[in-house]
Copies of this chain bind each other. A is one copy, B any other.
Amino acid sequence: MATTPTGSAPPERHSRSHGRTRRPYWVAVSATALLPLAAVGYVIAATPRSRTTAQHIKPTPLLDTTAHFLLAACLVLAVAHLAGRLAERLGQPKVIGEICAGISLGPSLLGRFAPGAVGWLFPQQTTAMLNGLAQLGLVVFMFGVGQELGGMRLRGAARQALLVSQASLLLPFAAGALLAVPLSERYLGTGGSPLAFVLFLGCALSITAFPVLARILEDLGLTRTRPGRLSLFAAAVGDGGSWLLLAVVLAVTQQAGPARLLIGLGGALALAVVCVGPVRAYLARRPDRDGTAAASPALSLLLVAGIAGTSVLSASVGIHQLIGALLAGLAWPAHRRWAAGAAAPLTATARTVLLPFFFLGFGLSVDIGSPSTDGTTALVLAGLLAAAVLTKIVGPGLCARLTGLPWRESLTLGVLLNARGLTELVVLQIGHEARLIDDRMLSLLTIVALVTTVLTAPLLRLTGAHRLPVTGGEPVPPKEPAASFSARTP
């Protein structure tokens, strides 16, 4: 009893029982040690050595597939981390660095200086395994985006937000579409029609990176400024619209006949309605049972299964699986503690650990170095960049000014809406996979996405965003700006 893990026995009983059990104890110790070892020794002596000779042992490579996969994963994450740190040093959002890390591991940089290295680091089998991580991360990430979009609430400012969102969505879309007409012959992918190409380019320019924007606003402390909240709302509406347009474009392209097209669009519509309607309502009715926001393992498991299921459904009706993941996010009641608690660790892990593998996959599929050699291409790039930047900054900026925002805030708003970042890459890869655009246009638009996102931080310094009044200069509670409003209306 004395030597139990409780250590709770009084000392005198300790010594007595110690004395009582000493001899049999040491007998047992030596017995349980020596007898087995003797048996093993006999076994080792008894087993034939016949087949231990080297020619019977297949020489195993230094690293098998799994180890190679782990090597690649370690490299990808390490480079992503370093590049992210570097980007933060340069006053850029971390995701920019992670994107550049993925691109630099592909033909764009590493492949240029060490062509053999890319092939050795990322053979087909390893790439497939990494791709599994990337795709899971991507659907969970898109689920998170949908969750944030669904959580967006419009506080007052309806007219202003409507106008800005509309300008931020439609003007770049039109510019991209117009610009695409002369380019369609040159850059059309093998899988799409000129019309699909034109519409896709419109989508590509109209995207605003909602998640990246949110992070930029947090980093720069602009979340509680008027332009900050307006841009976030406009980005939400704009991204929703862009994804909708993209879904239509994809449906138009992927479906062969008009019959299948109608079926596809109908299915997509039905899926969207069911997700945002009954499913969300059903989930939102579930109360928060226990006080803790800790996720139950079963719930996380079900959630990932549900996200994957919705994605498959949307893919099966011809729109991209990521749009299904977005819908799953819209259906998830983020305002419920149990729902947020289940989703938070998943989306966090996906953004942190899994997205770098998507950036790698993207980087392996694009070579942004190649187009720069060509004069015409450089011209096209300049045109795309100008269209992208101007339509985003000038259009919404003017509209904001028109609705009474001061110049500085209006410009800040336009600059914020100009960040395309990560979402743009996702859209580009979808278009590239659907063969709507060819490799050169993919790399051109990648450059556009990177440049517009990188421009955000310095342009914000130009517009003096850091001197903006927080929520119109009036004091607000640290967390929730709307509280100062609702507090006034009991």
Chain B positions within 8 Å of A476 at CB level? 6
Known: A7-B485, A166-B29. A36 touches B174 (CB 8 A): yes
Tell whether A370 is near chain B: CB-to-CB under 8 Å. no
Q: Please measure, in the bound complex, the distance between the C-alpha atom of A112 and the C-alpha atom of B193, giving whole angstroms.
A: 46
| Interface status of A395 (Cβ within 8 A of chain B) | yes
- Contact A157 B36, beta carbon cutoff 8 Å: no
- Residues in B whose Cβ lies below 8 Å from that of A375: none
Asked whether any CB of chain B lies closer than 8 Å to the CB of A40, the reply is yes
Pairwise interchain contact A77-B301, C-beta atoms closer than 8 A: yes
Proximity string of chain A (174-200) to chain B, C-beta cutoff 8 Å, 1 when within and 0 when not:
100110110010001011111110110
Binary interface encoding of chain A residues 1-43 relative to chain B, with 1 for a CB under 8 A from any of its CBs, else 0: 1111111110000000100110011001100110111011001
Q: How far is it, in angstroms, between the C-alpha of A5 and the C-alpha of B156 when the chains are bound?
A: 5
Contact check, A256 vs B193: say whether CB atoms are below 8 A apart: no
- A57 with B177: CB separation less than 8 A: no
Interface residues on A, range: 35 or more
User: What is the 8 Å Cβ interface bit string for chain A, positions 193-235, against chain B (1 contact, 0 not)?
Assistant: 1111011001000000000000000000000001001100100
Determine which of B47, B71, B84, B353 lies in contact with A346 in the assembled complex, contact meaning CB atoms within 8 Å: B353
The answer to whether A58 and B191 touch (CB under 8 A), given A163-B32, A404-B3, is yes
- Interface residue? A416 (CB, 8 A): no
In the bound assembly, the distance between CA atoms of A74 and B309 in angstroms comes to 6
Among residues of B, the one whose C-beta sits closest to the C-beta of A398 is B28
Please tell me if the beta carbons of A33 and B170 are within 8 angstroms of each other in the complex: yes
Q: In the bound complex, what is the Cα–Cα distance between A403 and B202 (angstroms)?
A: 78
Which of B84, B184, B352 interacts with A47 by CB under 8 Å?
A: B184
**B170 touching A352 by the CB < 8 A rule?**
no
A1 to B184, CA, bound (A): 43
Could you say which of B57, B166, B305, B353 contacts A32, with CB atoms under 8 Å apart? B166
Q: Does A133 contact B (CB under 8 A)?
A: yes
* A476–B194 CA distance with the chains assembled, in angstroms: 75
A-B contact pairs, 13 of them (CB 8 A): A3-B159, A37-B170, A39-B177, A51-B194, A57-B192, A64-B315, A67-B315, A69-B135, A73-B136, A77-B302, A133-B133, A300-B353, A345-B348
Which residues of A are at the interface with B, using a C-beta cutoff of 8 A? 1-9, 17, 20-21, 24-25, 28-29, 32-33, 35-37, 39-40, 43-44, 46-52, 54, 56-60, 62-64, 66-67, 69-71, 73-74, 77-78, 80-81, 84-85, 94, 125, 128-133, 135-136, 139, 154-163, 166-167, 170-171, 173-174, 177-178, 180-181, 184, 188, 190-196, 198-199, 202, 226, 229-230, 233, 253-254, 256-257, 295, 297-298, 300-302, 304-306, 308-309, 311-312, 315-316, 321, 345-346, 348-349, 351-353, 356, 395, 398-399, 402-405, 433-435, 471-472, 474, 476, 481-482, 484-485, 488
